[in-house]
Amino acid sequence: MLAEETEEEIPWNSNVVIVESDNPADSLYSAFRQELNRREFTLKDENRSEHTTSTEPNDIGQRVVLVVNGDVNSSNGGAH
C-alpha cells in the first residue's frame, strides 16, 4: 500500500504507522483491505461500518510475525 521508499523509512520496531490520504475513508479502507488480502492476511475481526480490521498473525519473513490492526478515519477532506 505504501511506496517501497516509504516502507523503508518506517523504524524497525514501530507499533503504529499513520498513513494520510486525499481519498475518502471508504476508499482508503477498501485499499487497505485489498492490500491485506494481496499479502494473504487472514482477518480476525472486522467492522466495515466503522472501518476497523484486525488480522491473525502472519509470517512476513523468516523470523517476523505481524498482526495488523487498522482503523481508518476521515480527516480534512481525506482520511488517515
Ordered per-residue pLDDT tens for the chain, 80 residues:
677 788 888 888 888 988 888 999 999 999 999 999 998 999 999 999 999 999 999 988 788 888 999 999 999 889 99
Residue ranges per structural domain of the chain: 21-72
Terminal Cα distance for the chain, rounded: 13
Contacts (Cβ under 8 Å, ≥6 apart) of 39 = 58, 60
Strands 43-47 and 52-55: antiparallel
